Structure 1
Amino acid sequence: MDFQSLLFSFEGRIGRKTFWVWNVCYYAAIIILISLANTLVPLWAHLLVPVILLVLLYPDLAMTAKRWHDRNKSSWWLLLNVPLLIGRLAAPVAASAADEPMMTWQTTISFVALFCGVWILVECGFLKGTPGENRFGPAVVSSS
């Protein structure tokens, strides 16, 4: 699979190794870009963080979809990312209102996001893909 298909296509399968390499790079990019934003334009960083996360969202969803496919599950399982996205995009707002007590909806979203994140981590990060060909394509050569 070429690099463009890997990052921008929702078709095919990837193994756990590719999924983990992607996640290390994804979170490193987020940390570096947010650190740069905080250093270079601190007054605008709270506006840039959601933009940075949105730019990286599409390739992250594409990679995760392919991992779900390796587990023989449809891309509809990406809906588990919705609470995570809401939580990530709301984090700068919550941080700016840190002096106020945490609202019930923020607590609820946090717990739902945690549950969904753990589910995605276990399913996509730790469980093996289906052996052989499945409805999403041939088996990944190295699924470890």
Structure 2
Amino acid sequence: MSIKQLLFSFEGRVGRKTYWIWNALYYAVIVGFAAGANVLFPAMAHIILPVFLLIVLVPDLAITAKRWHDRGKSSWWLLLNVPLVFGRMAVPAGDPTGLAQTSTIEMLISVAALICGTWILVECGFMKGEVTSNQYGDEIK
């Protein structure tokens, strides 16, 4: 599978190893980008970071879709990512004091993101894929 197919196609399957490597790189890049944006553009970090998160959203969803396929499940399971996306966008950037007030809606989104994120972690990160070919492709060796 080419890098282009891996990052931008919602077809096929990937195993746990590919999923974990992607997530390690994905979150390292996000943390590095956020730190850099806060240092280089502190007044604009609250705008720059959400734009960057939207840019890297498609590759993240593509790889997660392939992981759901490896588990024999449809891409509709990507809907579990909706609270995660809203949760990431709601995080106040550039608040060094941590005193930003949290509304009830933000709290509910955070709880939903925690539940959905845990489910995705268990299903995609820890559970084996189907050991035979399925409707999404051949088994991962």
TM-score grouping bracket, smaller chain normalisation: over 0.9
Change (3 A) 1:38 1:122: same
Change (3 A) 1:100 1:24: closer
Other-structure match for 2:123: 123
What's the CA shift string for 1:49-83, capped at 9, x where partnerless? 10110010000000000000000000000000000
Displacement of 1:102 in angstroms is 2.4
Other-structure match for 2:112: 112
User: How do residues 1-144 of structure 1 correspond to structure 2 at under 5 angstroms?
Assistant: 1-92=1-92, 95=95, 99=99, 101-141=101-141
What is the distance in 2 between the residues matched to 1:99 and 1:13?
Answer: 43
Aligned residues: 141
Displacement of 1:132 in angstroms is 1.1
Does the CA-based 8 Å contact 1:9-1:62 persist in structure 2? yes
Displacement of 1:100 in angstroms is 5.5
Q: What stretches of structure 2 of length at least 5 have no aligned partner? A: none
What is the distance in 1 between the residues matched to 2:99 and 2:19?
Answer: 37
What is the distance in 2 between the residues matched to 1:102 and 1:11?
Answer: 38
Secondary structure in structure 1 of the residue aligned to 2:56: helix
Change (3 A) 1:34 1:130: same
Change (3 A) 1:102 1:92: closer
Q: Percent identity?
A: 56
Does the CA-based 8 Å contact 1:49-1:92 persist in structure 2? no
Indicate the RMSD between aligned Cα atoms, in angstroms.
1.8
Matched to 2:71, the amino acid is R
What is the distance in 1 between the residues matched to 2:102 and 2:31?
Answer: 25
Q: TM-score, normalised to structure 1's length?
A: 0.92
What's the CA shift string for 1:1-45, capped at 9, x where partnerless? 111100110000000000000000000110111111111111111
Matched to 1:50, the amino acid is P
